[in-house]
Structure 1
Amino acid sequence: MKICFLMYPWERVSPENDSTLRLIHEAASRGHTVAITTPNSLTIRDTVAHAFCNVLRKSDKLTSNIPSFYRNAQFKRSKLPLAGFDAIIMRANPPLDTVALNFLDSVRADTFIMNDIDGLRIANNKLYTASFSGEASRYIPGTHVSKNKEYLERVLMESQSEKMIMKPLNGFGGQGVIVVEKSAQQSFRSLLDFYVGEGENSNYVIMQDYVDGAEHGDVRILMLNGEPIGAMRRVPAANDVRSNIHAGGREVKHQLTKEEKALCRHIGPKLVRDGLYFVGLDVINGKLIEVNVLSPGGITRINRLNRTRLQAKVIDFVEHVIAAKELIVERKNQFRKVIEDADAI
């Protein structure tokens, strides 16, 4: 199988904890051809989408030590047609590069893309949770999004809680997430001036109901094909509301509760319908706060806490999808041969 990882630059990989590196190592250890590229390396030649790729040189004996694998990896630089890959695994960091998705539009019929580019377009921002309906909607905390400062002030004052969560619509990794309180209304307008800005360059802001227990952290759940495959609790650093690991939080072992399992059952089908096969859910006290679809992390830390290898499940899934696609093509060719032979009689 030939797999291309569309990701951040190789030199930015953190070998000790990087989830993408675990996926690359797993694919390489199975003998698959592995190439890595970045959104800036996409190009078109004679109307055919290509990428300048670093192709991992295969080794007779691949080390099981992943940091060592990273340090010793050797590549060959090549310009390769994207349609030649069996799978393209999207692992680029936020924000979403919409131009990169336009390059991939031309190869989606030939190549399995995970996650699906239409799914990425609709779900790469914090508004995606508002699209859940029916039973799934009860797992979504009240969310308000606007650039209108007067409206946002009214949202805070009309809230049944004394505090709310405020964050920029285009933030990631816990950037800009703060708690705002009714008792600090005088400084709230100043915060809105900073977060929203003025005029044509103003930004959307999210105001979200404060979920009880948020001060104790959140739960990151990794979902594969609509089912949970692993989870961890992220505990915020002292005097910080953010539990993101990159914001100073730490991870602890976690078993999914009955309510969290129910959340996954109700959320999972829509994720699959939208082509979002591998995602990370951020959950607080049974409420879905965010869906991470571009480059969900946590594989290494969940592995360490539970003595498992989640990357094997992800690559298993990709292999099964490709095998199914190949079987469909084989059956089609067999049926065409039968028709051709009948016509020749």
Structure 2
Amino acid sequence: MKICFLMYPWERIDPETDSTLRLIHEAASRGLTVAITTPNSLTIRDSVPHAFCNVLKRSDKVPTSSVSFYNKAQFKRSKLPLAGFDAIIMRANPPLDTIALNFLDSVRNDTFIFNDIDGLRVANNKLYPASFSGEASRFIPTTHVSKSREYLEQVLAESATEKMIMKPLNGFGGEGVIVVEKSARQSFRSLLDFYIGGNANGNGNYVILQEYVEGAEKGDVRILMLNGEPIGAMRRVPSENDIRSNIHAGGQEVKHQLNKEEKELCKAIGPKLVRDGLYFVGLDVINGKLIEVNVLSPGGIVRINRLNRVKLQTQVLDFISNVVAARELVVQRKNAFRKAIEDAESI
């Protein structure tokens, strides 16, 4: 199997904690052909989408340690047709590069793209949880999104709770997440001016004002979902005097077993994730409420592995391998049927 990782540059990897490196290491350990590229390396030649790739050189013995593997990895630079890969694994960091998705549109029937292009388009924003309906909707906190200062001030004033969460629509990694309180409404307009920016003509950034979920100060739960099912979780505890639980924002991870409500949440939203082609995602959950769905390059594999003595990357690669094998079987059957018809025609 030939796999291309469309990701951030190799030199930006933190080998101690990087989830993508674990997937690459697992693929290399299986003897698969592994290529690495970035959105900036995509190109078209003679109307055929290509990428300037770093192809991992094969080794007689792949190091068992991901850190050693990273340090010893050697690559060969090549320009390769994207349609030649069996799978393209999307692991680029936010924000979403829509131009990169446009390159992939023309090869989506030739290669398995993980996660699906259309799924990334619809889900790579903080509005995606609002699309869940029916049973799943009870797990979604009340959310308001606007760039109208007057409307957001009204929302805060009419809130049934003393506190709300405010964050930029396009932020990631806990960037810009703050708690606002009714008692501090005098400074709220100043905060909105900063977050929204723009001018009186309606320009500026969208802001999310969200129901404050009790227990947020104790941290959140990161759940990794594969093909609509939870495969691992951890609790992220914020650092002192910080509401954000994100590891990059100073949070710490602790072992966690999903409770009944969290399992019900996963069961309720799993089918929609699969329908949208979102096969591997990270859910951020606080007290049974779905706060965010991370679809571009969800992390947590290394920390969940360490806390539970598992290797989640093996499950992810098993899934990709099974999908590729199933697609190949369909092609083989189709070719066999076409051959039978051609043979009958020549009789």
CA–CA distance in structure 2, aligned partners of residues 100 and 201 of structure 1:
26
Cα deviation, 1:87-123, whole Å, max 9, x if unaligned, reads 0000000000000000000100101000001000000
Deviates more, 1:253-262 or 1:329-338: 329-338
CA–CA distance in structure 1, aligned partners of residues 118 and 132 of structure 2:
17
Cα deviation, 1:264-290, whole Å, max 9, x if unaligned, reads 001000000000000000000000000
| 1:306-325 matches, cutoff 5 A | 306-325=308-327
Aligned residue for 1:167, secondary structure, equals: strand
Cα deviation, 1:285-324, whole Å, max 9, x if unaligned, reads 0000000000000000000000000000000000000000
CA–CA distance in structure 2, aligned partners of residues 344 and 6 of structure 1:
46
CA–CA distance in structure 1, aligned partners of residues 28 and 105 of structure 2:
26
User: Aligned partner of 1:218: which letter?
Assistant: D
Corresponding residue number in structure 1 for 2:66: 66
| 1:83-122 matches, cutoff 5 A | 83-122=83-122
Count of paired positions: 345
CA–CA distance in structure 2, aligned partners of residues 61 and 327 of structure 1:
31
Corresponding residue number in structure 2 for 1:228: 230
Unaligned runs of 5+ in 2: none
TM-score scaled by length of structure 2: 0.99
CA–CA distance in structure 1, aligned partners of residues 81 and 344 of structure 2:
37
Over the aligned positions, Cα root-mean-square deviation in angstroms equals 0.6
Q: Does 1:216 align with 2:218?
A: yes
Corresponding residue number in structure 2 for 1:55: 55
CA–CA distance in structure 2, aligned partners of residues 165 and 212 of structure 1:
11
CA shift for structure 1 position 333: 1.0
User: Aligned partner of 1:278: which letter?
Assistant: F
CA shift for structure 1 position 344: 1.6
Q: Does 1:189 align with 2:189?
A: yes
| 1:255-274 matches, cutoff 5 A | 255-274=257-276
Cα deviation, 1:44-93, whole Å, max 9, x if unaligned, reads 00100000000000101001011111011000000000000000000000
Cα deviation, 1:187-209, whole Å, max 9, x if unaligned, reads 11100000001226410000000
CA–CA distance in structure 2, aligned partners of residues 244 and 193 of structure 1:
25
CA–CA distance in structure 2, aligned partners of residues 152 and 39 of structure 1:
36
Corresponding residue number in structure 2 for 1:140: 140
Aligned residue for 1:175, secondary structure, equals: coil
Q: Does 1:288 align with 2:290?
A: yes
Aligned residue for 2:5, secondary structure, equals: strand
CA shift for structure 1 position 334: 1.1
CA shift for structure 1 position 11: 0.4
| 1:323-334 matches, cutoff 5 A | 323-334=325-336
Deviates more, 1:50-59 or 1:193-202: 193-202
User: Aligned partner of 2:97: which letter?
Assistant: D
CA–CA distance in structure 1, aligned partners of residues 343 and 39 of structure 2:
46
CA–CA distance in structure 1, aligned partners of residues 203 and 148 of structure 2:
13
Corresponding residue number in structure 2 for 1:33: 33
Aligned residue for 1:16, secondary structure, equals: coil
Corresponding residue number in structure 2 for 1:246: 248
Structure 1 runs of 4+ with >3 Å offset: none
Corresponding residue number in structure 2 for 1:278: 280
CA–CA distance in structure 1, aligned partners of residues 327 and 99 of structure 2:
27
Aligned residue for 1:122, secondary structure, equals: helix
CA–CA distance in structure 1, aligned partners of residues 230 and 94 of structure 2:
23
| 1:151-190 matches, cutoff 5 A | 151-190=151-190
CA–CA distance in structure 2, aligned partners of residues 6 and 91 of structure 1:
6
User: Aligned partner of 2:92: which letter?
Assistant: A
Aligned residue for 2:299, secondary structure, equals: coil
